Amino acid sequence: MFGIMEKEIAVSALAALAQETRLDVFRLLVRSGPEGLSPGRVAQLLELPPATLSFHLKELRSAGLIICQREGRSRIYRPDFEAVNRLLGFLTESCCQGIPAESRAAAS
């Protein structure tokens, strides 16, 4: 499953998550599960101005980490879980040689 990610794609996924607001948005979407959330709801929960949120959603989307779908007058954003898994695969493969994981699986 989950093929290995290209370095270029990994860099853009890392960059997308390497920003506090964006990481907050992404984690919120992850917590909200496959139902996803509308920008309005995200803006409300994280107290972000719409333009700012829209900018960050676009970044996450062009990094391939989230998916968007129209829903009437609104939209629904959801995490792309496979993309995160590919990123984890990339990091595990290319940044962990020597010391493998164990401990990481099934925490919290």
Binding site for DNA (CB under 7 A): 15, 19, 21-22, 38-41, 43, 48-59, 68, 70, 72-75
CA atoms within 13 A on the CB side of 73: 1
How far apart, in whole angstroms, are the C-alpha atoms of residue 63 and residue 84? 11
**Residue 80 binding partner per list DNA, a second copy, none, with a CB distance cut-off of 5 to 8 Å that depends on partner kind:** none
Q: State in angstroms the smallest separation of the CB of 69 from DNA.
A: 10
Give the residue with the Cβ less far from a second copy, 50 or 52.
52
Closest CA to 66 of 56, 76, 75, 77: 77
Cβ-based neighbour number of residue 24 at 10 Å: 15
Interface contacts to a second copy, rule CB under 8 A? 1-2, 4, 7-8, 10-11, 14-15, 17-20, 23, 26-27, 30-31, 33-34, 79, 81-82, 84-85, 87-89, 91-108
Q: How remote is the C-alpha of 104 from its chain's centroid?
A: 19
Q: State in angstroms the smallest separation of the CB of 52 from a second copy.
A: 17
